[in-house]
Amino acid sequence: MRTKTLALTSILALTAMAAAFVFGPQQMTVKRGRVVEGTLGSLQSSDNNRLVVENGIRISGYDNPIDIEGEVVCGAPDPQTMTLAIESAATTVGLVEYVEMWEWNSNRFVEVYRGPIRRTDTRTVVDIPLCWRFTGSGGQMKIRYWVDARGPVTLPKWRVALDELTWDVNWQ
């Protein structure tokens, strides 16, 4: 399987506000799909600088047309609250985006959000319950973003544009 890895050399994703921080992925791997434009830095804030990914070839019905995994080190485990911000748009209707986070106790990805992708830029903020489950002992977090066709898709080739994928983490 061919994958692409995008990495930041500095932590562009960190914005301090008291004991709350906003983090974006520091490393991402596109496991399925083709990057058309943008970089990992495109996900750090809502600024119309997008990571655009085109659907990939599906060898079986179990393959996701777009599958992206990312990691961030937020610096400390056991946050009290966490929200996830996703801003996305698609070139066709009938697509559903899924966000999963790595649960360190069970060693598996757990779904934290699922919803339709609109044709216009739409920002969704998701509260992450029991958020301490999703940070490792060194404050690591892993995320998996994937897209599937769940309705009548009007185009054989379609694209998803991600403008933001960030965590807002609070330790107070």
**pLDDT at residue 163 greater than cutoff 70:** yes
119's CB contacts (< 8 A; 6+ apart) are 89, 90, 91, 92, 93
> pLDDT for 107-131, tens place per residue?
999 999 999 999 999 999 999 999 9
**pLDDT at residue 7 greater than cutoff 80:** no
Closest CA to 6 of 28, 31, 36, 32: 28
Cα 113 to Cα 128: distance, rounded to the nearest angstrom:
9
User: Would you state the pLDDT for residue 37?
Assistant: 94
* DSSP per-residue codes, the chain: ---EEEE-SS-TT-EEETTEEEE--SEEEEEESEEEE--GGGGSSSSS--EEEE----SSTTS-SEEEEEEEE-S-S--SEEEEEEEEEESSSSEEEEEEEEETTTTEEEEEEEEEPPSS-EEEEEE-TTGGGG--TTSEEEEEEEEEE-S----SS-EEEEEEEEEEEE--
Average pLDDT over residues 152-159: 85
User: Would you state the pLDDT for residue 151?
Assistant: 79
Q: What phi and psi values does residue 131 have, to the nearest 5 degrees? A: -65, -20
Ordered domains of the chain (ranges, CATH): 4-170 (2.60.120.260)
Cα 172 to Cα 123: distance, rounded to the nearest angstrom:
25
Find the largest Cα–Cα distance for the chain.
48
pTM for this entry = 0.83
**pLDDT at residue 93 greater than cutoff 70:** yes
Q: What percent of the chain has pLDDT over 90?
A: 49
